[in-house]
Protein backbone atom coordinates (compact mmCIF):
# COMPACT_ATOMS: atom_id res chain seq x y z
CA UNK A 1 0.00 0.00 0.00
CA UNK A 2 1.34 3.42 -0.98
CA UNK A 3 1.42 6.55 1.07
CA UNK A 4 -1.80 7.94 -0.34
CA UNK A 5 -3.72 4.73 0.46
CA UNK A 6 -2.28 4.70 3.96
CA UNK A 7 -3.30 8.31 4.38
CA UNK A 8 -6.85 7.56 3.21
CA UNK A 9 -7.06 4.56 5.51
CA UNK A 10 -5.88 6.57 8.51
CA UNK A 11 -8.19 9.39 7.61
CA UNK A 12 -11.15 6.98 7.37
CA UNK A 13 -10.27 5.37 10.69
CA UNK A 14 -9.97 8.77 12.28
CA UNK A 15 -13.41 9.83 10.99
CA UNK A 16 -14.96 6.58 12.15
CA UNK A 17 -13.47 6.99 15.61
CA UNK A 18 -14.65 10.59 15.77
CA UNK A 19 -18.13 9.43 14.84
CA UNK A 20 -18.02 6.65 17.40
CA UNK A 21 -17.05 9.05 20.15
CA UNK A 22 -19.85 11.46 19.27
CA UNK A 23 -22.36 8.60 19.36
CA UNK A 24 -21.11 6.30 22.09
CA UNK A 25 -24.09 3.96 21.81
CA UNK A 26 -25.64 2.66 18.62
CA UNK A 27 -29.25 3.72 18.18
CA UNK A 28 -31.59 1.41 20.07
CA UNK A 29 -33.24 0.36 16.86
CA UNK A 30 -34.95 -2.59 18.51
CA UNK A 31 -37.11 -0.49 20.85
CA UNK A 32 -40.85 -0.81 20.36
CA UNK A 33 -43.17 1.44 22.40
CA UNK A 34 -46.94 1.56 22.59
CA UNK A 35 -49.28 4.00 24.30
CA UNK A 36 -52.09 2.31 26.18
CA UNK A 37 -55.06 3.10 28.40
CA UNK A 38 -56.36 6.51 27.32
CA UNK A 39 -59.67 5.39 25.95
CA UNK A 40 -61.40 3.14 28.46
CA UNK A 41 -62.09 0.36 25.99
CA UNK A 42 -60.83 -2.42 28.27
CA UNK A 43 -57.53 -2.99 26.49
CA UNK A 44 -55.10 -5.02 28.63
CA UNK A 45 -51.33 -5.40 28.48
CA UNK A 46 -51.77 -9.06 27.61
CA UNK A 47 -53.87 -8.19 24.52
CA UNK A 48 -50.81 -6.74 22.78
CA UNK A 49 -48.46 -9.21 21.04
CA UNK A 50 -44.91 -9.03 22.44
CA UNK A 51 -41.95 -10.16 20.35
CA UNK A 52 -39.24 -11.50 22.71
CA UNK A 53 -36.48 -10.06 20.49
CA UNK A 54 -37.32 -6.40 20.95
CA UNK A 55 -37.18 -4.07 23.93
CA UNK A 56 -40.87 -3.43 24.60
CA UNK A 57 -42.21 -0.37 26.42
CA UNK A 58 -45.83 0.25 27.33
CA UNK A 59 -46.61 3.91 27.98
CA UNK A 60 -49.61 4.43 30.23
CA UNK A 61 -51.71 7.36 29.05
CA UNK A 62 -52.10 9.62 30.97
CA UNK A 63 -51.22 11.17 34.34
CA UNK A 64 -52.61 14.69 34.57
CA UNK A 65 -52.10 17.67 36.89
CA UNK A 66 -55.70 18.88 36.84
CA UNK A 67 -58.67 18.21 39.07
CA UNK A 68 -61.35 16.02 37.54
CA UNK A 69 -64.18 18.40 38.36
CA UNK A 70 -66.78 19.88 36.04
CA UNK A 71 -64.55 22.91 35.62
CA UNK A 72 -61.08 21.37 35.93
CA UNK A 73 -58.39 23.43 37.64
CA UNK A 74 -54.58 22.97 37.65
CA UNK A 75 -53.23 21.19 40.73
CA UNK A 76 -49.73 22.70 40.82
CA UNK A 77 -47.99 19.41 40.05
CA UNK A 78 -50.20 16.98 41.99
CA UNK A 79 -50.60 14.30 39.35
CA UNK A 80 -53.58 11.97 39.21
CA UNK A 81 -54.03 8.84 37.16
CA UNK A 82 -56.39 9.10 34.19
CA UNK A 83 -55.65 5.78 32.46
CA UNK A 84 -57.90 2.76 32.78
CA UNK A 85 -56.83 1.60 36.25
CA UNK A 86 -59.23 -1.32 36.21
CA UNK A 87 -57.52 -3.08 33.29
CA UNK A 88 -54.06 -1.56 33.80
CA UNK A 89 -53.54 -2.02 37.54
CA UNK A 90 -50.36 -2.52 39.61
CA UNK A 91 -50.89 -6.29 39.65
CA UNK A 92 -51.33 -6.36 35.87
CA UNK A 93 -48.09 -4.38 35.47
CA UNK A 94 -46.33 -6.84 37.71
CA UNK A 95 -47.69 -9.86 35.89
CA UNK A 96 -46.81 -8.65 32.37
CA UNK A 97 -43.28 -7.75 33.55
CA UNK A 98 -42.86 -11.15 35.18
CA UNK A 99 -44.02 -13.00 32.08
CA UNK A 100 -41.89 -10.94 29.68
CA UNK A 101 -38.43 -9.91 30.82
CA UNK A 102 -38.11 -7.55 27.82
CA UNK A 103 -41.06 -5.41 28.97
CA UNK A 104 -40.84 -2.07 30.77
CA UNK A 105 -43.70 0.27 31.61
CA UNK A 106 -43.75 4.07 31.67
CA UNK A 107 -46.39 6.70 32.26
CA UNK A 108 -47.06 9.75 30.13
CA UNK A 109 -47.77 13.28 31.37
CA UNK A 110 -50.15 15.77 29.80
CA UNK A 111 -51.39 14.99 26.30
CA UNK A 112 -55.07 14.57 27.02
CA UNK A 113 -58.35 16.24 27.75
CA UNK A 114 -60.04 16.58 31.13
CA UNK A 115 -63.83 16.64 30.91
CA UNK A 116 -63.50 17.53 27.23
CA UNK A 117 -61.08 20.41 27.85
CA UNK A 118 -57.51 20.31 26.59
CA UNK A 119 -54.93 19.75 29.29
CA UNK A 120 -52.60 22.76 29.43
CA UNK A 121 -49.18 23.10 30.96
CA UNK A 122 -50.01 25.60 33.71
CA UNK A 123 -47.50 26.40 36.44
CA UNK A 124 -47.30 29.36 38.76
CA UNK A 125 -44.10 28.53 40.62
CA UNK A 126 -41.41 26.24 39.20
CA UNK A 127 -40.09 25.07 42.57
CA UNK A 128 -43.42 24.11 44.10
CA UNK A 129 -44.64 22.48 40.86
CA UNK A 130 -41.44 20.40 40.65
CA UNK A 131 -41.60 19.43 44.29
CA UNK A 132 -45.25 18.34 44.05
CA UNK A 133 -44.68 16.58 40.73
CA UNK A 134 -41.68 14.65 42.09
CA UNK A 135 -43.60 13.47 45.14
CA UNK A 136 -46.93 12.66 43.46
CA UNK A 137 -45.26 10.87 40.52
CA UNK A 138 -42.85 8.98 42.77
CA UNK A 139 -45.84 7.60 44.65
CA UNK A 140 -47.61 6.48 41.47
CA UNK A 141 -44.42 5.08 39.89
CA UNK A 142 -43.60 3.06 42.99
CA UNK A 143 -47.16 1.81 43.48
CA UNK A 144 -47.29 0.62 39.85
CA UNK A 145 -43.63 -0.47 39.69
CA UNK A 146 -43.01 1.67 36.58
CA UNK A 147 -39.67 2.32 34.89
CA UNK A 148 -39.92 5.63 33.09
CA UNK A 149 -41.87 8.75 32.19
CA UNK A 150 -42.89 10.31 28.90
CA UNK A 151 -43.61 14.02 28.41
CA UNK A 152 -46.58 14.73 26.15
CA UNK A 153 -47.80 18.24 26.96
CA UNK A 154 -49.19 19.76 23.77
CA UNK A 155 -50.82 22.98 25.04
CA UNK A 156 -49.11 25.66 27.06
CA UNK A 157 -50.34 28.43 29.29
CA UNK A 158 -46.98 28.92 31.03
CA UNK A 159 -44.00 30.17 29.04
CA UNK A 160 -41.08 28.30 27.52
CA UNK A 161 -38.60 28.97 30.31
CA UNK A 162 -41.07 27.58 32.86
CA UNK A 163 -41.71 24.46 30.77
CA UNK A 164 -38.00 23.77 30.29
CA UNK A 165 -37.14 24.26 33.97
CA UNK A 166 -40.08 22.25 35.31
CA UNK A 167 -39.69 19.26 33.01
CA UNK A 168 -35.90 19.27 33.06
CA UNK A 169 -35.79 19.41 36.86
CA UNK A 170 -38.54 16.79 37.20
CA UNK A 171 -36.76 14.24 35.00
CA UNK A 172 -33.41 14.97 36.63
CA UNK A 173 -34.82 14.51 40.14
CA UNK A 174 -36.65 11.27 39.29
CA UNK A 175 -33.48 9.87 37.72
CA UNK A 176 -31.20 11.04 40.54
CA UNK A 177 -33.56 9.51 43.09
CA UNK A 178 -33.45 6.20 41.22
CA UNK A 179 -37.24 6.32 40.67
CA UNK A 180 -37.00 6.01 36.86
CA UNK A 181 -34.39 4.64 34.49
CA UNK A 182 -35.54 6.35 31.28
CA UNK A 183 -37.43 9.37 30.01
CA UNK A 184 -38.92 10.26 26.64
CA UNK A 185 -40.51 13.30 25.06
CA UNK A 186 -43.31 13.27 22.48
CA UNK A 187 -43.17 16.42 20.36
CA UNK A 188 -44.64 17.03 16.94
CA UNK A 189 -44.06 19.59 14.22
CA UNK A 190 -46.58 22.40 14.63
CA UNK A 191 -44.06 25.02 13.51
CA UNK A 192 -45.17 26.81 16.67
CA UNK A 193 -45.00 26.48 20.45
CA UNK A 194 -44.82 22.67 20.65
CA UNK A 195 -41.77 22.68 18.41
CA UNK A 196 -40.19 25.67 20.19
CA UNK A 197 -40.78 24.36 23.70
CA UNK A 198 -39.50 20.84 23.11
CA UNK A 199 -36.45 22.04 21.19
CA UNK A 200 -35.64 24.42 24.06
CA UNK A 201 -36.06 21.52 26.51
CA UNK A 202 -33.72 19.41 24.36
CA UNK A 203 -31.14 22.16 24.21
CA UNK A 204 -30.80 22.30 28.01
CA UNK A 205 -31.74 18.76 29.07
CA UNK A 206 -30.91 16.33 26.22
CA UNK A 207 -28.58 14.49 28.60
CA UNK A 208 -31.52 13.23 30.69
CA UNK A 209 -33.81 12.39 27.74
CA UNK A 210 -33.38 8.87 26.38
CA UNK A 211 -35.92 8.76 23.54
CA UNK A 212 -37.72 11.16 21.24
CA UNK A 213 -41.16 9.71 20.50
CA UNK A 214 -41.70 12.05 17.61
CA UNK A 215 -45.33 12.14 16.46
CA UNK A 216 -44.69 11.71 12.73
CA UNK A 217 -48.40 10.88 12.32
CA UNK A 218 -49.17 14.54 13.06
CA UNK A 219 -47.90 15.33 9.55
CA UNK A 220 -50.50 15.36 6.79
CA UNK A 221 -52.42 12.28 5.83
CA UNK A 222 -50.97 11.00 2.57
CA UNK A 223 -47.32 11.69 3.50
CA UNK A 224 -45.03 9.85 1.05
CA UNK A 225 -41.90 7.83 1.82
CA UNK A 226 -39.59 10.55 0.50
CA UNK A 227 -41.40 13.27 2.48
CA UNK A 228 -41.17 11.09 5.59
CA UNK A 229 -37.44 10.54 5.09
CA UNK A 230 -36.99 14.32 4.89
CA UNK A 231 -39.10 14.89 8.00
CA UNK A 232 -37.08 12.27 9.86
CA UNK A 233 -33.83 13.96 8.88
CA UNK A 234 -35.20 17.35 9.99
CA UNK A 235 -35.96 15.91 13.41
CA UNK A 236 -32.52 14.27 13.58
CA UNK A 237 -31.14 17.77 13.08
CA UNK A 238 -33.54 19.30 15.63
CA UNK A 239 -32.85 16.63 18.27
CA UNK A 240 -29.17 16.08 17.53
CA UNK A 241 -27.75 12.83 18.94
CA UNK A 242 -31.20 11.67 20.12
CA UNK A 243 -32.77 8.23 19.72
CA UNK A 244 -35.64 9.19 17.44
CA UNK A 245 -38.49 6.72 17.05
CA UNK A 246 -40.58 6.48 13.87
CA UNK A 247 -44.31 6.34 14.55
CA UNK A 248 -47.78 5.56 13.26
CA UNK A 249 -51.25 6.07 14.60
CA UNK A 250 -53.95 3.45 14.49
CA UNK A 251 -56.48 6.08 15.50
CA UNK A 252 -56.76 8.24 12.39
CA UNK A 253 -54.67 8.12 9.27
CA UNK A 254 -52.20 11.01 9.58
CA UNK A 255 -48.60 10.89 8.38
CA UNK A 256 -47.00 8.07 6.40
CA UNK A 257 -49.32 5.08 6.69
CA UNK A 258 -48.27 1.43 6.46
CA UNK A 259 -50.14 1.22 3.15
CA UNK A 260 -48.09 4.12 1.74
CA UNK A 261 -44.73 2.65 2.80
CA UNK A 262 -44.13 3.26 6.52
CA UNK A 263 -42.25 -0.04 6.87
CA UNK A 264 -40.20 0.62 3.73
CA UNK A 265 -39.07 3.90 5.29
CA UNK A 266 -38.31 2.19 8.62
CA UNK A 267 -36.18 -0.42 6.88
CA UNK A 268 -34.21 2.27 5.10
CA UNK A 269 -33.63 4.19 8.35
CA UNK A 270 -32.69 0.99 10.12
CA UNK A 271 -30.13 -0.05 7.52
CA UNK A 272 -28.64 3.46 7.81
CA UNK A 273 -28.39 3.07 11.60
CA UNK A 274 -30.75 6.01 12.16
CA UNK A 275 -33.85 4.33 13.53
CA UNK A 276 -34.21 4.76 17.30
CA UNK A 277 -37.21 2.40 17.36
CA UNK A 278 -40.89 2.47 16.48
CA UNK A 279 -43.91 3.52 18.50
CA UNK A 280 -47.64 3.22 17.94
CA UNK A 281 -50.49 5.40 19.18
CA UNK A 282 -52.34 3.41 20.47
CA UNK A 283 -53.14 -0.08 21.77
CA UNK A 284 -56.70 1.08 22.50
CA UNK A 285 -57.21 1.80 18.81
CA UNK A 286 -55.33 -1.24 17.49
CA UNK A 287 -57.31 -3.75 19.49
CA UNK A 288 -60.16 -4.01 16.99
CA UNK A 289 -57.83 -4.86 14.11
CA UNK A 290 -55.75 -7.44 15.98
CA UNK A 291 -52.52 -5.44 16.43
CA UNK A 292 -51.36 -6.14 12.88
CA UNK A 293 -48.95 -3.19 12.71
CA UNK A 294 -47.56 -3.87 16.17
CA UNK A 295 -46.57 -7.35 14.99
CA UNK A 296 -45.08 -5.99 11.78
CA UNK A 297 -43.14 -3.22 13.57
CA UNK A 298 -41.63 -5.63 16.07
CA UNK A 299 -40.70 -8.17 13.39
CA UNK A 300 -38.87 -5.40 11.54
CA UNK A 301 -37.07 -4.25 14.69
CA UNK A 302 -36.17 -7.80 15.75
CA UNK A 303 -34.34 -8.48 12.48
CA UNK A 304 -30.76 -7.56 13.30
CA UNK A 305 -28.70 -5.95 10.58
CA UNK A 306 -25.19 -7.40 10.84
CA UNK A 307 -23.49 -4.12 9.87
CA UNK A 308 -24.52 -0.54 10.11
CA UNK A 309 -23.77 1.19 6.86
CA UNK A 310 -22.99 4.62 8.20
C1 LIG B 1 -63.61 12.00 36.04
O2 LIG B 1 -64.94 12.30 36.28
C3 LIG B 1 -65.87 11.66 35.43
C4 LIG B 1 -67.25 12.19 35.72
O5 LIG B 1 -67.55 12.05 37.08
C6 LIG B 1 -65.77 10.15 35.64
O7 LIG B 1 -66.66 9.49 34.77
C8 LIG B 1 -64.36 9.70 35.38
O9 LIG B 1 -64.23 8.35 35.71
C10 LIG B 1 -63.37 10.51 36.23
N11 LIG B 1 -62.03 10.12 35.82
C12 LIG B 1 -61.05 9.94 36.69
C13 LIG B 1 -59.74 9.53 36.10
O14 LIG B 1 -61.16 10.06 37.88
C1 LIG C 1 -56.65 25.11 28.29
O2 LIG C 1 -56.55 26.30 27.54
C3 LIG C 1 -57.52 26.44 26.55
C4 LIG C 1 -57.18 27.69 25.74
O5 LIG C 1 -56.94 28.76 26.59
C6 LIG C 1 -58.90 26.50 27.20
O7 LIG C 1 -59.89 26.60 26.20
C8 LIG C 1 -59.11 25.22 28.00
O9 LIG C 1 -60.33 25.26 28.69
C10 LIG C 1 -57.99 25.04 29.01
N11 LIG C 1 -58.14 23.75 29.67
C12 LIG C 1 -58.50 23.59 30.93
C13 LIG C 1 -58.62 22.20 31.40
O14 LIG C 1 -58.73 24.52 31.68
pLDDT, one tens digit for every residue, the chain (310 residues): 454 554 444 445 454 444 444 444 444 569 999 999 999 899 999 999 999 999 999 999 999 999 999 999 999 999 999 999 999 999 999 999 999 999 999 999 997 889 999 999 999 999 999 999 999 999 999 999 999 999 999 999 999 999 999 999 999 999 999 999 999 999 999 999 999 999 999 999 999 999 999 999 999 999 999 999 999 999 999 999 999 999 999 998 899 999 999 999 999 999 999 999 999 999 999 999 999 999 999 999 999 755 444 3
Ligand 1 centroid from CA 84, angstroms? 11
Query: What pLDDT is recorded for position 2?
Result: 52
Residue 12 lies inside a defined structural domain of this protein: no
Question: Does residue 309 fall inside a structural domain?
Answer: no
Domain encompassing residue 273: 28-302
Report which ligand 1 atom has the smallest distance to the Cα of 85: 13
**Which ligand is nearest to the Cα of residue 61, counting in written order?**
1
What is the model's pLDDT at position 292? 97
78 is catalytic: no
Residue 63 lies in a domain: yes
Atom of ligand 1 nearest to the CA of 114: 1
* 13 within a domain of the structure (yes/no): no
Predicted TM-score (pTM) of this structure: 0.90
Which ligand ends up closest to the CA of 37?
A: 1
pLDDT attached to residue 253? 82
Q: Which of 65, 67, 118 to mutate to test the pocket of ligand 2 (most atoms within 8 A of CB)?
A: 118
- Residue 248 · residue 257 · CB < 8 Å: yes
Residue 147 alpha carbon to ligand 2 centre in Å: 30
What is the structure's pLDDT at 287?
96
Domain at 46, CATH number: 3.20.20.80
CA of 37 to the centre of ligand 2 (A): 23
At 19 the pLDDT is 45
* Distance of CA 293 from the midpoint of ligand 2 (Å): 34
- Pick the residue whose CA is nearest to atom 2 on ligand 2: 120
Q: Which residues approach ligand 2 with their CB closer than 6 A?
A: 66, 72, 114, 117-120, 155
**What's the pLDDT score for residue 304?**
73
Given the residues 55, 78, 154, 251, the one annotated as active site:
154
Q: Please report whether residue 82 resides in a domain.
A: yes
Count of domains observed in the chain: 1
Q: What is the pLDDT of residue 59?
A: 98
Distant-in-sequence, close-in-space partners of 257: CB < 8 Å, separation ≥ 6: 221, 223, 248
Residue 282 within any structural domain of the chain: yes
Does 17 map to a domain? Answer: no
Query: Does residue 310 sit within a domain?
Result: no
Q: Which ligand minimizes its atom distance to the CA of 64?
A: 1
Ligand 2 atom nearest to 66, measured from its CA: 13
Amino acid sequence: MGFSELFILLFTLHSLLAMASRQPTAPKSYLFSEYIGAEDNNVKFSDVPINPNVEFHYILAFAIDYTNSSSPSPTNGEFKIFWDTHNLSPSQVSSIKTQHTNVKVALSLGGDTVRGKTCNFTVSSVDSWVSNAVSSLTKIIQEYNLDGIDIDYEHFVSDQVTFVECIGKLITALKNNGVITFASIAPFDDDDEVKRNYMALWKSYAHVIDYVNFQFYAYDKGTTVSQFMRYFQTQRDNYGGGNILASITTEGSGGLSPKNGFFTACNMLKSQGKLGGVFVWSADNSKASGFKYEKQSQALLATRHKNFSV
